[in-house]
């Protein structure tokens, strides 16, 4: 299983980026897919998750109204559209895929990392 994330980079505050994560190695249709991030010196934190059928979506409070998660099951790919970026959004963003809970209903819990697969991360830097 491989999760290949892309789309990170350097952007000015107020700008936008779109992250993508393509999963391969098996069928991921009944898997929740989403994103975590880890800023320098901080713990990894939940960002967003989308259920296997796209019917349930959760966001961290810090990104609600600015980030949008979506998925394309035909491509086994999850996306994160990030708008109105702030310097505090600077972090390495990790995509994640989990089959134990296809709705990702526990991802938002503090320090919840019981997830099947993790990508290697893509760096997002937001300058002020």
pLDDT of residue 91: 98
Q: What is the mean pLDDT of the chain?
A: 96
Q: What are the Cα distances from residue 71, in Å, to 21, 42, 108?
A: 9, 28, 18
- What is the band of 110 on the pLDDT scale with cuts at 50, 70, 90? confident
Percent of the chain whose predicted confidence (pLDDT) is above 90: 93
**Which residues are within 8 A (CB) of 65 and not within 5 positions of it... i.e. 6 or more apart?**
none
- What mean pLDDT comes out for the span 60-69? 98
Which tens digit of pLDDT belongs to each residue from 32-62? Answer: 999 999 999 999 999 999 999 999 999 999 9
pLDDT greater than 90 at residue 82: yes
Question: Angle at the Cα of 58 (from 54 to 60), degrees rounded to 5?
Answer: 150
Contact (CB, 8 A) for 33 and 48: no
């Amino acid at each position: 299983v491989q999760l290949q994330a892309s789309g990170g980079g350097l952007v000015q505050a107020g700008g936008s980026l779109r992250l993508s994560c393509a999963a391969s190695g098996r069928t991921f249709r009944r898997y929740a897919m989403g994103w975590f991030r880890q800023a320098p010196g901080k713990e990894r934190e939940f960002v967003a998750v989308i259920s296997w059928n796209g019917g349930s979506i959760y966001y961290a409070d810090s990104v609600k109204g600015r980030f949008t998660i979506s998925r394309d099951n035909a491509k086994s790919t999850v996306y994160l559209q990030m708008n109105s970026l702030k310097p505090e959004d600077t972090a390495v963003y990790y995509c994640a895929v989990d089959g134990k809970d296809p709705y990702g209903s526990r991802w938002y819990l503090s320090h919840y990392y019981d997830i099947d697969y993790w990508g290697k991360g893509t760096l997002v830097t937001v300058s002020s």
